[in-house]
């Protein structure tokens, strides 16, 4: 049950442009929450340094029209649990970050908010290399009961969430908008799965659409919830760098995997390694040790997990067991069409069964 102060901050949070720090400033203009509730509508002079007259009139009209109750109804219509900065179960990790979110709308297992968390971030236009690295790191981390935090975006975010779910681990998705319209739309099913098996959170009221400027705000929560942030790959102008910036400001550990030297997918992450040299990690064990996490299950990350292979994939694996082979050689020997072969090889790479080498050669791991 929310206190009056909690209800008021949920109401304030329902207005676009009235973000976390301003909400707390508005509340502080009055003696207490009861005074705010009773006096706000006739106190423009007290808040005019924080709100335009138009904003004030909109909010005053809402308050007179039972807006606080309506904001709470909207928050819970998606089955969300509402946690405010004044709640006892507000995440400990967010309390002391710069500009902590005042409201978290949560669908799923809220106990994960206070679990061991590592954020996994990277390029939206991910490469097979980046996805493979992400999958291998996440597999070991979730085997050791580490919760994976990411932003439900395309590319590395999706690879991280999916790898956690595929390995029976836990994951938290932090949204850049409300629950009414998931972005990107192709992740609607992933969103539903995480709601059932993990946790989805957002600081934006449920009917708030995603906006470009929301994502840098979202990223401070991704890093703030986590003990460390792992970047598997990032291009030269990746938005992922805002998450790394937040992590450094928040005193979180940053971990970066070395990328392929001449790949545009890794230009940004490789460049950042020169700026933060102690961020270099080459295996998930490096993250576990740096964060002083206790080992529960140590995996051999250099070996691929058993996988169900199609007839074509098994044929390819059997052929590569004799040694490194060129793409054309594989086509010639297996009689698999180039299009299907490319698809099979991509899947085998992501599964960590096959490795692509220079010159379009492939080898079995």
User: What is the pairing mode between strands 361-364 and 325-326?
Assistant: antiparallel
Exposure letters 266-298 (e unless 16+ CB within 10 A, then b) = bbbbbebbeeeeebebeebbebbebbebeeeee
25: which 2 tokens?
């400033």
Q: What is the pLDDT of residue 113?
A: 96
- C-alpha dist (Å) from residue 357 to 213, 292, 354, 363, 365: 39, 35, 10, 8, 12
- Give the SS3 label for residue 317: helix
Distance CA 194, CA 58 (A): 36
For residue 297, what pLDDT is reported? 61
Residues 6+ away with beta carbon under 8 Å from 51: 18, 26, 44, 59
**Three-state secondary structure readout of 25-36:** HHHHCCCCHHHH
State how far the alpha carbon of 105 is from the alpha carbons of 3, 76, 150, 206, 324, in Å. Answer: 16, 9, 16, 8, 51
Confidence at residue 301, expressed as pLDDT on a 0 to 100 scale:
41
pLDDT at 307: 55
Residues 192, 270: Cα–Cα separation, whole Å:
34
Q: How many residues does this entry show for the chain?
A: 365
C-alpha of 202 from chain center: 11
Decide if 273 contacts 244 (C-beta within 8 A).
no
Q: Would you state the pLDDT for residue 305?
A: 41
Cis amide leading into 184 (omega within 30): yes
> What value, to the nearest 5°, has the Cα angle with vertex 205 and ends 191 and 51?
150
pLDDT digit string (tens) for the chain, length 365 residues: 789 999 999 999 999 889 899 999 999 999 999 999 999 999 999 999 999 999 999 999 999 988 888 888 888 888 899 999 999 999 999 999 999 999 999 999 999 999 999 999 999 999 888 999 999 999 999 999 999 999 999 999 999 999 999 999 999 999 999 999 999 999 999 999 999 999 999 999 999 999 888 999 999 999 999 999 999 999 888 888 999 999 999 999 999 999 888 888 889 999 999 999 799 998 899 999 999 998 876 544 444 344 567 888 888 988 887 778 889 989 988 899 988 898 888 888 877 788 888 888 888 87
**CA distance linking residue 341 with residue 335, whole number of Å:** 9
């Amino acid at each position: 049950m929310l206190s009056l102060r909690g209800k008021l901050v949920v109401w304030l949070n329902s207005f676009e442009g009235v973000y976390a720090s301003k909400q707390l400033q508005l509340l502080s203009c009055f003696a207490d929450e009861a005074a705010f509730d009773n006096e706000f509508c006739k106190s423009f002079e007290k808040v005019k340094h924080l709100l335009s007259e138009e904003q004030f009139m909109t909010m005053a009209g809402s308050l007179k029209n039972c807006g606080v109750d309506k904001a709470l109804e909207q928050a819970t219509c998606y089955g969300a649990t509402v946690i405010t900065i004044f709640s006892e179960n507000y995440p400990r990790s967010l309390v002391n970050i710069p500009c902590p979110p005042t409201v978290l709308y949560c669908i799923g297992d809220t106990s994960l908010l206070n679990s061991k968390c590592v954020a996994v971030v990277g390029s939206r236009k991910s490469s097979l290399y980046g996805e493979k690295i992400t999958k291998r790191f996440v597999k070991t981390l979730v085997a050791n009961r580490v919760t994976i935090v990411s932003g439900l975006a395309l590319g590395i975010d999706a690879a991280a969430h999916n790898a956690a779910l595929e390995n029976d681990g836990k994951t938290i998705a932090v949204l850049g908008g409300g629950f009414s319209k998931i972005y990107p739309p192709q992740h609607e099913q992933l969103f539903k799965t995480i709601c059932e098996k993990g946790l989805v959170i957002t600081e934006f009221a449920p009917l708030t659409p995603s906006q470009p400027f929301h994502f840098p705000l979202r990223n401070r929560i991704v890093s703030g919830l986590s003990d460390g942030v792992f970047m598997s790959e990032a291009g030269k102008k990746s938005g992922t760098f805002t998450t790394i910036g937040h992590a450094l400001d928040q005193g979180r550990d940053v971990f970066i995997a070395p990328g392929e030297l001449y790949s545009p997918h890794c230009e940004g992450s490789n460049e950042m390694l020169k700026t933060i040299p102690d961020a270099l990690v080459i295996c998930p064990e490096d993250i576990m040790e740096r964060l002083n996490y206790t080992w529960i299950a140590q995996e051999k990350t250099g070996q691929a997990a058993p996988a169900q292979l199609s007839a074509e994939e098994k044929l390819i694996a059997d052929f590569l067991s004799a040694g490194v082979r060129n793409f054309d050689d594989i086509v010639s020997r297996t009689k698999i069409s180039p299009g299907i072969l490319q698809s099979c090889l991509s899947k085998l790479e992501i599964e960590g069964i096959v490795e692509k080498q220079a010159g379009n050669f492939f080898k079995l791991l």
